Structure 1
């Protein structure tokens, strides 16, 4: 997740350009599955996580009036954090046409970002929230080339203070950045609903498509700090295809569009009552190559 603005909305507080943040995450897991019987399979996967973060342009908040740890708010270069958690899964096949899956990824407990301990709540703590997923796949007996899928997912943003603490009111600003009650992004738990389909017209080709809808997890009153992370889209649509070149090699490609969505609020810091509009649209293209032994 990256954002970068040449015009700094916090310039009146002394912020320089560019304003923005960069967050990167890497997950490595070792998976183990056990087939209990013909219909039930269980899985477990310890997960190692690595994060890298940097922030620029927040000099106006890098003082004792705003932060509990001045000097650890902005322009400190890349900071690294390691940690981990656990993935648990269950696959139930009650009939040849049906597959029902349940997955849970625990909260990923991460080392604090020490270089940004004056920015994130709880002295730089930035754990990765837990995720629970329930999915169903149906393959009609009369047409096994087609599979239809539906999925529900809940992301528990509200459990991580750096993500969920409010930045909405002047009272909230009284809690210094980096403190346990310091400003966060005001994100709420998110619910995601997905439907999709897979069609296999031949042994070589597999076609895929789907749409997803996510609940709004940012209130308008939280708009100001979310300039740094304007994750506003709620609707996504994806199409993709895989081509099996031979017994070993395959190629997979996909395109996803996140539809533009706007969250409107007001600026409680610089000019109280000033409108703040966040909006984002995204396009993603992916291409992968697989090799089967």
Structure 2
């Protein structure tokens, strides 16, 4: 177990020093372990690795006593276009900006150990998701109350502009067999977040606390939650499963209490997933899952930009940034449809997957989502598992999310009745992950 302890320590260290980017489905990862990532995030009904507790803790009873160590390299491309001349309000450009930071290491770790024939415990550490943008250079035009223009560097008028949010889970799980065909599981979750923002000072007039709006370094937040799950067999070849993860109430980002709703609150949204796995042949399995992410229940993520207009009409109201009804990113809930196929060929197991979801950002919510362009809709995945020895198995997974673009109006442009400025935000993603499974 000394080796497992060393891997866990290394994983924690990497997770804490690594920057984060948008996961895939909004800000939630499309998968966690190398196996379920290769299957587009399916597997809630059929567990094959220790990291499967991140999808469904009930599946722990069906995996080997093992230690998993995974390392992903995540490469997103994201940016925005703005068109049209500046009008007497907050306008951006016109310009095309693409975010810096295009490669992110994402480590994860998991341990599964049977306590007896009916019960298995597990411990895992993994990134839940996050967001990262960094826009350098360019120009922005801000008009004062007299209609006089001031040209300043940066996306929102203050040099380098962007945000960096990292989210980390420590998952302690236990699963128990109800009988040979059915099991239940429970995970206790500890969540840890870091956040920083730069270049947002020109929104000071919309904030209840402009000193805690931007450029205050890195802040920290933590909270607790749980995940429950069920897994079973309806027939010898048809498996079913379901899991629910609670909304995690996180402590406030005090350094950014003038940015996020409720004095800097940024909770982790609840998620639900159901699915099936059909063993079509002894060496061929078809997976199908549906996942729902409740973004709208987190004010910092779901509150709409229209709330900002109430702040403009009544300075100091709770609709201003930092207030209880403050503007958020305006994201809608997401429902993700996933399918995967796994087959054994000679000494190697191969996997393919595909998922689809409507992206969460409406056309009238683009201004603030320049900072958070999580608009990809499709994910294509592939992977393999190769037994190296009786104790070690190598896993690999690849993901590609083609570029998706959302276009609409700048909500703070054209307030005088002139034509509103047009904004387009876009994102594409690639990820490669390798995992080593050690059967203990």
Give the TM-score category using the shorter length. over 0.9
Ranges in structure 2 where 5+ consecutive residues have no aligned partner: 1-130, 144-151, 313-318
Is 1:57 aligned to residue 57 of structure 2?
no
Note closer, same or farther for the CA distance 1:162–1:8 as it changes in structure 2 (3 Å cut): farther
Find the counterpart in structure 1 of residue 422 from structure 2. 275
Taking the aligned partners of 2:369 and 2:138, their CA distance within structure 1 comes to 13
Find the counterpart in structure 2 of residue 185 from structure 1. 329
What SS does the aligned partner of 1:31 have?
strand
Note the 1:122-271 alignment, pairs <5 A. 122-140=262-280, 143-168=281-306, 171-174=309-312, 175-202=319-346, 204-271=347-414
Once the two structures are overlaid, the 10-residue window that deviates more, 3-12 or 72-81, is: 3-12
Note closer, same or farther for the CA distance 1:281–1:172 as it changes in structure 2 (3 Å cut): farther
Note closer, same or farther for the CA distance 1:292–1:200 as it changes in structure 2 (3 Å cut): same
Choose between structure 1 and 2 for higher RCO, CA contacts under 8 A separated by at least 6 residues: 2
Deviations 1:108-132, CA, capped at 9 Å, x for gaps: 1110111111000111000000000
Note closer, same or farther for the CA distance 1:11–1:73 as it changes in structure 2 (3 Å cut): farther
Taking the aligned partners of 1:274 and 1:99, their CA distance within structure 2 comes to 51
Taking the aligned partners of 2:397 and 2:139, their CA distance within structure 1 comes to 36
Note closer, same or farther for the CA distance 1:265–1:7 as it changes in structure 2 (3 Å cut): farther
Find the counterpart in structure 2 of residue 12 from structure 1. 142
Find the counterpart in structure 1 of residue 434 from structure 2. 287
Find the counterpart in structure 1 of residue 188 from structure 2. 46
Find the counterpart in structure 2 of residue 72 from structure 1. 212
- Report the TM-score when normalising by structure 2: 0.63
Contact 1:10 1:58 in 2 (8 A): no
Taking the aligned partners of 1:269 and 1:100, their CA distance within structure 2 comes to 48
Once the two structures are overlaid, the 10-residue window that deviates more, 102-111 or 279-288, is: 279-288
Once the two structures are overlaid, the 10-residue window that deviates more, 210-219 or 187-196, is: 210-219
What SS does the aligned partner of 1:186 have?
coil
Select the structure that is richer in helix.
2
Taking the aligned partners of 2:138 and 2:251, their CA distance within structure 1 comes to 30
Taking the aligned partners of 1:10 and 1:66, their CA distance within structure 2 comes to 18
Taking the aligned partners of 1:182 and 1:109, their CA distance within structure 2 comes to 18
**Structure 1 residue 170 displacement after superposition:** 5.6
**Structure 1 residue 269 displacement after superposition:** 1.6
Taking the aligned partners of 2:265 and 2:164, their CA distance within structure 1 comes to 16
Find the counterpart in structure 2 of residue 32 from structure 1. 174
- Report the TM-score when normalising by structure 1: 0.94
Taking the aligned partners of 2:271 and 2:307, their CA distance within structure 1 comes to 29
Taking the aligned partners of 1:170 and 1:22, their CA distance within structure 2 comes to 23
Ranges in structure 1 where 5+ consecutive residues have no aligned partner: none
Note closer, same or farther for the CA distance 1:167–1:179 as it changes in structure 2 (3 Å cut): same
**Structure 1 residue 11 displacement after superposition:** 5.8
**Structure 1 residue 39 displacement after superposition:** 2.0
Note closer, same or farther for the CA distance 1:7–1:269 as it changes in structure 2 (3 Å cut): farther
Q: 2:222 aligns with which of 57, 63, 82?
A: 82
Q: 2:260 aligns with which of 120, 135, 140?
A: 120
